[in-house]
Amino acid sequence: MKKEPIPSVKGTRDFYPSDQAIQNWLRGVIQKISQKYGYQEFEGPELEYLDLYTDKTSREILEDQVFILKDRDERDLVLRPELTPTLARMVAQRSAELPAIIRWYCFGRAWRYERPQKGRGREFFQWEINILGPETPEADAEILAVAADFFRELNLTPLEVTIRVNDRAYFDQILKENNIDQKKFIPLLRVIDRQEKISLEEFTQSLANEGLTSDQIEAIKRYLSERDYSRSPWLTQVFESLENYPGVREYVTFDPTIARGFDYYTRTVFEAWDKTGQLKRSLFGGGRFDDLTATLGGQHIPGVGMAPGDMPIEALLRSLDKLPIIRPITARALVTAFDEKLASKSTRTAATLRQAGISVESWVGGVTKLDKQLKYASHQNIPFVVIIGPDEAKDGKLTIKNMQSGDQQTVDFERAIEILKGKV
């Protein structure tokens, strides 16, 4: 009785070796860029208490998008919807002993219960990269430079992607200048964050719903149409610092409409956007969160960072035909098994080749025609095949077949190692 196949959970991904090879390539790019700037890798639990996110992460995520479960004491646990709170908790826990500048990165999983679509799943990976300690525009500029460097490494040009930067503290100042209650700071940011998805009329109505007068609404609209960051001394210095990074400035633009959904951002906020129209939304975001560690019970340690997700980046690269062709790493050789009598000798040869530092597969599929074994090696893209037939066994030799050229030669063991190591 054949059972119905059990499917994977909606919004999750199976990484077959060909998919995992791409994922490893992306991880390699992320490691390279992170290490180039001296960031050290950390990781944290994927399960956290719900309290870690309450009043900090975006309300939208907490209300609708977290995977929640209960431990046996009925406490609410969640699968982390993002990594910044875990990072901040870890820093808060050891605030006394950590260095003056904390540069940490991680490429880890996160979950959100969203509608799966192009470049968006319920289980995904995020590159969490942050500087904690300094409350300086230079730190913000470095994070933006890292983002631009990442794009450059991926061969994404300033014509294809852009990083839109804003300053929440400057927005706060606009509220003060227009006598808008500070309590409306977060609600108004949420309205602005939705702005691109709604009509101008709806937008005006949303601002009015927050209790703003028509003068105040006009002031907000004026603020949103500004194209000059000089009224924010902070952003002025961030942009100044950016000039020190060759080839970075052209990726970054000032954009007062950037608000970001996360409540914990205090100052610089930014979003990277696809300009090609392939994804029609933000690729990732980041910003400065100066109060998060204190909110979590640690010392006040300011921070700035970002969290590019793997899925939108891969989707964009795929759309633009810029995802490199990456194949899984294979063994250098398949050692075939000639017949039942000689199989043992093949296994032993394979083991000896491995001791010589060569990665080899041995044929453990039982008595099988040589043809089929060769076909397997070819299907797996294994570059060489080693054959030990009766003649080779008698003479103490190996036959090595180059699967690409089809050439084969019968050689002794030392010579075989040289060939397999690519030295001849």
Where in 166-195 is the site for a second copy (CB under 8 A)?
none
Whole-angstrom distance, CA of residue 298 vs CA of residue 289: 14
Supply 75's token pair: 């406490």
**CB 22 → a second copy: shortest distance, Å?**
11
Q: Order across the sheet with 408-411: list the strands.
A: 360-362, 333-335, 384-387, 398-402, 408-411
Q: Which is nearer to a second copy, 61 or 217 (CB)?
A: 61
User: CB count, 10 Å around CB of 188?
Assistant: 22
Whole-angstrom distance, CA of residue 424 vs CA of residue 421: 8
Q: Does 2 bind a second copy (CB under 8 A)?
A: yes
Q: Which residues, 6+ apart, have CB-to-CB distance to 114 below 8 Å?
A: 11, 65, 120, 122
Residue from 28, 41, 205, 222 touching a second copy (CB under 8 A): that is 41
Buried b (16+ CB within 10 A) or exposed e, 299-320: eebbbbbbbbbbbbbbbbbebb
Q: Does 241 bind a second copy (CB under 8 A)?
A: yes
Q: Does 42 bind a second copy (CB under 8 A)?
A: yes
In the DSSP assignment, the letter for residue 25 is H
Q: Which is nearer to a second copy, 23 or 319 (CB)?
A: 23
Residue from 25, 59, 60, 77 touching a second copy (CB under 8 A): that is 77
| Strand partners for 273 | 162, 282
Q: Which of residues 323-342 bind a second copy (CB under 8 A)?
A: 328-331, 334
In order, the DSSP letters of 373-423 are HHHHHHHTT-SEEEE--HHHHHHT-EEEEETTT--EEEE-HHHHHHHHTT-
Residue from 25, 29, 37, 282 touching a second copy (CB under 8 A): that is 37
Residue from 44, 116, 187, 261 touching a second copy (CB under 8 A): that is 44
Q: Which stretch binds a second copy (CB under 8 A): 44-52, 153-161, 180-188, 214-222?
A: 44-52
**CB 20 → a second copy: shortest distance, Å?**
5
Whole-angstrom distance, CA of residue 409 vs CA of residue 424: 13
Whole-angstrom distance, CA of residue 164 vs CA of residue 251: 9
Q: Which is nearer to a second copy, 4 or 201 (CB)?
A: 4
Whole-angstrom distance, CA of residue 105 vs CA of residue 35: 9
Q: Which of residues 116-155 bind a second copy (CB under 8 A)?
A: 123, 131, 133-136, 138-139, 141-142, 145
Residue from 182, 227, 325, 366 touching a second copy (CB under 8 A): that is 366
Q: Which is nearer to a second copy, 113 or 185 (CB)?
A: 113
Q: Which stretch binds a second copy (CB under 8 A): 84-92, 194-202, 251-259, 266-274?
A: 84-92
Residue from 61, 161, 212, 296 touching a second copy (CB under 8 A): that is 296
Q: Which of residues 10-29 bind a second copy (CB under 8 A)?
A: 10, 12-17, 20-21, 23-24
Q: Are strands 252-254 and 161-167 parallel, antiparallel or unpaired?
A: parallel
Supply 332's token pair: 């250098």
Residue from 364, 391, 395, 421 touching a second copy (CB under 8 A): that is 364
Q: Does 363 bind a second copy (CB under 8 A)?
A: yes
**CB 191 → a second copy: shortest distance, Å?**
27
**CB 200 → a second copy: shortest distance, Å?**
34
Q: Which stretch binds a second copy (CB under 8 A): 38-46, 182-190, 221-229, 272-280?
A: 38-46
| Sign of the CA dihedral with 114 first, then 119, 123, and 128 last | negative
User: 98 phi and psi, to 5 degrees?
Assistant: -80, 155
Q: Does 99 bind a second copy (CB under 8 A)?
A: yes
Whole-angstrom distance, CA of residue 213 vs CA of residue 207: 9
Q: Does 101 bind a second copy (CB under 8 A)?
A: yes
